[in-house]
Amino acid sequence: MDIALPVLGGLGLFLYGMNIMGTGLEKAAGERLKRLIELLTNNRLMGVIVGAVVTAIIQSSSATTVMVVGFVNAGLMTLPQAAGVIMGANIGTTVTAQLIAFNLTDIAPFAVALGVAIYLVASNKRLKSVAEVLIGFGILFIGMDMMSGGLKPLANNPVFTSILSGLRDPVLGILVGLGLTTILQSSSASIGLLQALASQGLVDMQIAFPILFGDNIGTTTTALISSIGTNKTAKRAAVVHFMFNLIGTIIFMFGLRYPIEAIVTRLTPFDVQRQIANAHTLFNLVNVVIQLPFANLLVKMATKLVPGEVEEAEEIRLKYLDARILETPSIAIGQAIKEVTRMAQIVKNNLELACRAFIEKNEKLIEEVLNQEVVINKLETGIVEYLIQLSKEPLTGEQHSKITELINVVNDIERVGDHSENIAELAQEIIRDNLPFSDTAIEEMNIITNKSLEVFKYAVESYRETDFDKARNVVKLEEEIDELEKEYRSNHIDRLNKQTCNIHSGVLFLDLLSNLERVSDHSLNIALYVLDGLKNKK
C-alpha cells in the first residue's frame, strides 16, 4: 500500500492536472480554436499543423481524434482532411512528455498558489482561464512527484526489477504499452508513468522505446470505441488513426528504432526522462514525414477495411452536431449555430409551402408540410438536448449566455414551424368545405404571406451572419406586418358585415392573419438577439 497509494494518487493528480490545464487553455484559446478548425483546407500539411496545435492546446491526442471522428460524422470534415489532422494530433501529444522532462516539480506548488490567487482575485474571464492553466500545470507536476516518490522503493525490489528485465523483449513491451494506454485512455498518462519510472532509474531506453510504440497504438482505441454508432466515414477516420500508428510502429521496429534510440541517447546521455520525451517526439515526427505523402493510401486502406457506400445524410438527422465535439465548447457552439440555422431553413421552406397550400388549395403541399413538421420537432428536441449537454461542460460566462440564447432561438423557430402546421390545417378545412375567397382577400393574402416569409428569411440570415442591418430590417418589416394585419382584419370584418364574403372563409382568413402576425413576432425575437449583441459590444 505504501507504493500503490502514492502511485495511484499521483496518477490521479496527473490526469486531473492535465485535464484542468487543457480546459484552461481551451477556454483561453476560445474562438481562436474555432477559427483554427475553420481554416482547415484540403491541404494535408495544414491539417497536420491544425491537429498538432489543437492537441497541444487540449493536451490529448485521444480527445482530438475523438473530436475528428465527431467532425467527420457531423460532415464538418472530409476523410482526407481528417487523416492530416490525426497525424498532427500525434505530434501535438508529445508536448506533455516534453513538459514533464523539464522536471519542474519544485515550482509546482508556487504555480498552484499563484493560479488560485489569480482565480480568486481576477474578474476578467481570460485571466481566470490562465489561472486554470497554472493550477493544472502545478497539479500535474505534483502528481508526477507523488508517482516518482511512490515508485522509489521498487528500485531495490528484485521481483519488480526482474519483471522490468522481461520487458526488454520488444513485443512484450509493445503489448504492455498498448494495454496500459487502453486502460488509462491517455498516452500522455502512460508515458508520464514511464517517465516516473525512469526518474528512479528503473527503466532505460531499451525498455522504454517498445512501450512507447505500444502507447501510440493504445491511444487509438479511444477513437475506435468512439466510432461505434457513427457513419461509415467516421469509422474510417478512426481506422486511419489505428493504421497510421500501427504502420509507424512496424517501420520503427524493423528499421528506425536503433538509429533514433542512438540519437536521443547521445543528445541527453544522463537524462532518461528527456530521452523518452525526445524519442516520443521523434517517433511521431518521423512517422508523419514518412506517411503523409501516402495519406490517400491510408484512406483507401480504411475504405477497404470499412466497406460499403457512405450513408446519405437524412434530413431528420442532426447534421452538424456530434457528442464528440462537446470536448471543445467554442467549436460545439459554432456547430450548434449551423444546426439551428439549418433547422430554420427547413422551417422557412415549410412556411412557404403552407402559405401556398392555403392560397392554392393544394392537398399534396399540405401533406408535405405535415410530414416536415415531424422532422422539425425532432430536430428541435435533438438540438435542445445537445445544448443542455453542452451547458454542463466547462464554459465561459459568454458561452453560457450564448447557449441560453440558442435555446430561445430554437424555440422561436419551432413556434414558426407550429404556425406553418396551423396554416396547413386551415388549408385542409378550405379544401374539405370547398370554401371560396374574394379576389381582394386573395390579393391581401399574397401580400401578407410574402411579407411574413421575407421577415423570417431576414431574421434567420441576420442571426446566421450576425448582420445588424438585416436585423434592423426585421424590426421595420415586423411593424409593417402588424399594420397590415390590423388593416386586413378591419377590411375583412367590413366585408363580413356587408355579406360580400363567406362567413366560414372569413373566419379562416382571420386565423391566417393571426398566424402570420405571430410568425413576424417570433422573427422579431430572433433579430433582437442580434441587436442585443451589438449593444453588448458597445
In 385-497, the DSSP E strands lie at none
- Tell me if residue 393 falls in helix, strand or coil: coil
Does residue 26 surpass a pLDDT of 80? Answer: no
Give the phi and the psi of residue 38 in degrees, each rounded to 5.
Answer: -70, -25
Instruction: Tell how far CA 466 is from the center of its chain.
Output: 21
| Top-ranked range on mean pLDDT: pick from 18-22, 156-160, 434-438 | 434-438
Does residue 498 surpass a pLDDT of 80? Answer: no
* Residue in the structure block whose three cell numbers are 422539425: 376
Given this model, what pLDDT does residue 314 score? 44
248-292, pLDDT tens digit by residue? 999 998 888 889 989 999 988 888 889 998 999 999 899 999 998
State how far the alpha carbon of 444 is from the alpha carbons of 192, 298, 357, 437, 512, in Å. Answer: 73, 61, 16, 11, 11
Per-residue DSSP letter, 328: S
Structural contact between residues 261 and 268, judged by C-beta atoms closer than 8 angstroms: no
Does residue 537 surpass a pLDDT of 60? Answer: no
Rounded CA gap, 354 and 372, in Å?
11
Q: Measured between alpha carbons, how far apart are the two ends of the chain, in Å?
A: 60
Locate 256 and state its grid cell. Answer: 528506425
Q: Which among 148, 136, 144, 159 is positioned nearest to 57, based on CA atoms?
A: 136
* Residue in the structure block whose three cell numbers are 494518487: 9
3-class DSSP string for 144-192: HHHHHHHHHHHHHCHHHHHHHHHCCCHHHHHHHHHHHHHHHCCHHHHHH
Given this model, what pLDDT does residue 353 score? 92
State how far the alpha carbon of 437 is from the alpha carbons of 175, 506, 508, in Å. Answer: 79, 8, 10
State how far the alpha carbon of 174 is from the alpha carbons of 145, 180, 309, 390, in Å. Answer: 26, 10, 35, 37
DSSP assignment of 12-33, as one string?
Answer: HHHHHHHHHHHHHHHHHHTHHH
The stretch 81-91 carries a mean pLDDT of: 85
Given this model, what pLDDT does residue 347 score? 94
| Top-ranked range on mean pLDDT: pick from 84-88, 190-194, 384-388 | 384-388
Given this model, what pLDDT does residue 127 score? 85
State how far the alpha carbon of 26 is from the alpha carbons of 53, 68, 126, 485, in Å. Answer: 11, 16, 11, 49
Does residue 53 surpass a pLDDT of 90? Answer: no
- The mean pLDDT of the chain is 83
Rounded CA gap, 199 and 148, in Å?
7
* Residue in the structure block whose three cell numbers are 465548447: 329
Given this model, what pLDDT does residue 312 score? 43
pTM of the model: 0.62
Locate 225 and state its grid cell. Answer: 470505441
| Top-ranked range on mean pLDDT: pick from 120-129, 230-239, 515-524 | 515-524
Locate 519 and state its grid cell. Answer: 410568425
Does residue 315 surpass a pLDDT of 50? Answer: no
- 394: Cβ contacts below 8 Å, ≥ 6 apart: 23, 27, 329
The stretch 355-379 carries a mean pLDDT of: 89
- 163: Cβ contacts below 8 Å, ≥ 6 apart: none
Per-residue DSSP letter, 278: H
Does residue 57 surpass a pLDDT of 80? Answer: no
Does residue 458 surpass a pLDDT of 90? Answer: yes
User: pLDDT grade, residue 334 (50/70/90)?
Assistant: confident
Rounded CA gap, 537 and 429, in Å?
49
User: pLDDT grade, residue 387 (50/70/90)?
Assistant: very high
Locate 147 and state its grid cell. Answer: 508517482
Given this model, what pLDDT does residue 107 score? 85
Per-residue DSSP letter, 499: T
Locate 268 and state its grid cell. Answer: 541527453
Given this model, what pLDDT does residue 412 score? 95
The stretch 225-248 carries a mean pLDDT of: 83
| Residue predicted with more confidence, 501 or 49 | 49
CATH number of 326-537: 1.20.58.220
Rounded CA gap, 472 and 16, in Å?
47
Given this model, what pLDDT does residue 197 score? 83
Domain boundaries in the chain? 4-305, 326-537
Structural contact between residues 298 and 244, judged by C-beta atoms closer than 8 angstroms: yes
Does residue 525 surpass a pLDDT of 90? Answer: yes
DSSP assignment of 418-437, as one string?
Answer: HHHHHHHHHHHHHHHHT---
